[in-house]
């Protein structure tokens, strides 16, 4: 259940590069709430003040150019926020200014949180990564794989062949389960998804699994990376193993302990609906209507793959906990070794025709993970891990630079260009150690 906070979240000062199991060595709270003007001096955190200011300037220019209504950016290093800005408007219809506590539909940035929930169950011995999915979903026991072949008249037809092995929990976490999304791209299997209404959000958890049981897999499990309903299935796994609905489990085990008071699957308090960031009516390029999730009322299905809302400050707390090795303040949600496992590449070089992480990146258990200095078209560090959401939200964690960065907006058509731009601007603002000393 979404809980709304009316006060700010305190800044964090990290005492080490990662937390140990001892609660006293994890973090300490700054006694004052954070504000953009009250962040730590950029030079003391390894940033050039001039170049950091350019991040805000360029993002404002993108808003002024009509690429998106507005957004919130937040950059933290060593647990200290060095830049936090609200840019543009919260709602194009009212021209209300964007606010730092704006609530965004984060779509697939739900996936890392739900992946962390699954790994909590793994740590408790209730789930193993090697478990076949059918252990929790008997409905998915005997799925077949759809293979497109040319029919007698040359038209593509779908041939069903047996799966060579079952998908596992590990496959679901790394998007190599054989499942897909029916709404992205075209294929005969995706057509089957659309016909069976697999992507319909007006279902229950059990109904989703029943619908998945009626359609073929897109690929043999373990053979191909394919963005999919895998994390939605994992959300249902959490429900079946814990005996709690996904919203309740996340609230009790992650959102509550991490004090993510503005995060959940809907904004329950109607007095806070005015904080929800809204998109343009139509995409500025395609002129097609933009329709985003209705988050003012409780959904029938808690989508582990893309149903949550959050704020920049809230998501920072989750990301900072992961950067710390699974702990923040007095709350530990995961062990350091588990976090390292999640933030490691699990693809073994296997790719696919729709490989979303892109060049230079592998995929871990809920995140894209950088595996090369080169190949990617943006700056970064080997080991940085990230993901984004359909409406344009994005974040990454860079352990080498002790950095967390977030950009939240509600502009689906501008998501790719803006993510690349924002990442470039952030890394361009980092300076070398000798420059930091001089700037002190």
- pLDDT of res. 42: 61
Residue 40's domain spans which residues?
Answer: 10-119+244-439
Please say which residue of 189, 218, 242 terminates a domain. Answer: 242
Structural domain total, the chain:
2
Work out the angle between the directed axes of helices 110-123 and 312-323 (0-180°, nearest 10).
40
- Residues 6+ positions from 421 with CB-CB distance below 8 Å: 58, 59, 62
Mean pLDDT, range 153-182, rounded to an integer:
93
Q: What is the mean pLDDT of residues 256-261?
A: 97
User: Residue 85: phi, psi to the nearest 5?
Assistant: -140, 145
Do 88 and 177 belong to one domain? no
Residue 5 lies in a domain: no
Q: Classify residue 150 by burial, with Cβ atoms within 10 Å: 0-12, 13-18, 19+.
A: exposed
- Whether 288 and 261 map to the same domain: the answer is yes
Q: What pLDDT, on a 0 to 100 scale, did the predictor assign at position 149?
A: 87
Last residue of a domain, one of 197, 223, 242: 242
Domain co-membership, 203 together with 100: no
Residue 3 belongs to a domain: no
CATH of the domain at 90: 3.40.710.10
Q: Give 352 or 42, the one with higher predicted confidence.
A: 352
Using CA atoms, how far apart are residues 413 and 249, in angstroms rounded to an integer?
Answer: 33
CA gap 91, 77 in Å, rounded: 30
- In this predicted model, which residue has the larger pLDDT, 268 or 40? 268
What is the average pLDDT across 335-350? Answer: 96
Q: How confident is the model at residue 30 (pLDDT cuts 50, 70, 90)?
A: very low
Q: Are 393 and 309 in contact (CB under 8 A)?
A: no
Last residue of a domain, one of 181, 210, 242: 242
Residues 302 and 399 in one domain: yes
Query: What pLDDT, on the 0 to 100 scale, is given for residue 41?
Result: 63
Are 234 and 321 in the same domain?
Answer: no
pLDDT, residue 9, reads 33
- Is 411 among the domain residues? yes
On whether residue 174 sits in a domain, the answer given is yes
Percent of the chain with pLDDT over 70: 88
- Statement: residue 24 has pLDDT above 70: no
Task: State if pTM tops 0.85.
Answer: yes
pLDDT tens digit sequence for 210-234: 999 999 999 999 999 999 999 999 9
Q: What is the pLDDT of residues 262-292, one digit of tens each?
A: 999 999 999 999 999 999 999 999 999 999 9
Comparison of pLDDT for 154 and 61, the residue scoring more: 61
Whether 219 and 135 map to the same domain: the answer is yes
- Asked whether residue 199 falls in the same domain as residue 300, the answer is no
Mean of pLDDT over the chain: 88
Q: Report the pLDDT averaged over residues 293-315.
A: 96
Position 1 in a domain: no
One domain, residues 194 and 274:
no
Q: Rounded mean pLDDT of 115-140?
A: 97
* Domain match, 30 and 49 both: yes
pLDDT at 21: 35
- Rg (Cα) of the chain, in Å, rounded? 21
Asked if pLDDT for residue 8 goes beyond 90, the answer is no
Q: Which of 9-13, 84-88, 93-97 has the lowest mean pLDDT?
A: 9-13
| 50 and 141 both lie in a single domain | no
- 389 and 277 belong to one structural domain: yes
Average pLDDT over residues 415-419: 93
Pair of tokens at residue 140 = 């998915």
* Cα 144 from Cα 56, distance rounded (Å): 50
Do 96 and 136 fall into the same domain?
A: no
**Residue 192 belongs to a domain with what CATH number?**
1.20.58
List beta partners, residue 215. Answer: none
Residue at 165 is within a domain: yes
Beta bridge partners of 235: none
What pLDDT was estimated at residue 155?
86
- 104 forms bridges with which residues in the sheet? 310
Q: Is residue 390 part of a domain?
A: yes
Nearest to 172 by CA among 199, 206, 212: 212
Domain membership of residue 2 (yes or no) is no
């Amino acid at each position: 259940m979404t809980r709304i906070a009316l006060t700010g979240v305190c800044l964090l000062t990290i005492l080490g590069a990662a937390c140990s199991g001892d609660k006293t060595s994890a973090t300490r709270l700054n006694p004052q709430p954070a504000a953009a003007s009250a962040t730590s001096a950029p030079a003391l955190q390894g940033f050039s003040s001039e170049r950091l200011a350019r991040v805000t300037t360029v993002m404002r220019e993108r808003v002024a150019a009509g690429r998106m209504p507005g957004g919130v950016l937040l950059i933290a290093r060593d647990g200290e926020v060095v830049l936090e800005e609200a840019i543009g408007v919260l709602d194009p219809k009212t021209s209300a200014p964007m606010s730092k506590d704006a609530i965004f539909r984060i779509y697939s940035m739900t996936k890392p949180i739900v992946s962390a929930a699954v790994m909590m169950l793994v740590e408790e011995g209730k789930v193993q990564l090697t478990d076949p999915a059918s252990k929790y979903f008997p409905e998915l026991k005997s799925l077949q794989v759809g293979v497109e072949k040319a029919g007698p008249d040359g038209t593509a037809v779908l041939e069903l062949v047996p799966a060579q092995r079952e998908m596992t929990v590990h496959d679901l976490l790394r998007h190599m389960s054989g499942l897909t999304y029916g709404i992205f791209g075209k294929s005969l299997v995706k057509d089957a998804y659309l016909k069976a209404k697999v992507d319909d959000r007006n279902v229950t958890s059990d109904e989703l699994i029943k619908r998945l049981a009626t359609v073929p897999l897109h690929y043999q499990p373990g053979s191909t990376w394919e963005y999919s309903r895998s994390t939605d299935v994992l959300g249902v796994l959490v429900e079946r193993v814990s005996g709690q609905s996904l919203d309740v489990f996340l609230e009790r085990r992650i959102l509550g302990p991490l004090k993510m008071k503005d995060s959940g699957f809907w904004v329950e308090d109607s007095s806070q609906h005015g904080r929800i960031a809204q998109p343009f009516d139509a995409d500025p390029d395609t002129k097609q209507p933009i329709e985003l999730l209705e988050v003012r009322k409780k959904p029938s299905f808690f989508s582990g793959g893309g149903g949550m809302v959050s704020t920049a400050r809230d998501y920072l707390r989750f990301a900072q906990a992961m950067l710390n090795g699974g702990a923040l303040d007095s709350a530990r949600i995961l062990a350091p070794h588990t976090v390292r496992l999640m933030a490691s590449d699990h693809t073994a070089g296997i790719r696919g025709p729709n490989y979303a992480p892109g060049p230079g990146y592998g995929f871990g258990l809920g995140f894209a993970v950088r595996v090369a200095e080169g190949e990617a078209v943006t700056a970064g560090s080997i080991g940085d891990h990230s993901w984004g959401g359909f409406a344009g939200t994005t974040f990454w964690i860079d352990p080498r630079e002790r950095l967390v960065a977030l950009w939240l907006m509600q502009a689906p058509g501008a998501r790719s260009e803006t993510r690349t731009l924002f990442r470039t601007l952030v890394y361009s603002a980092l300076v070398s150690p000798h420059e930091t000393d001089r700037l002190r």
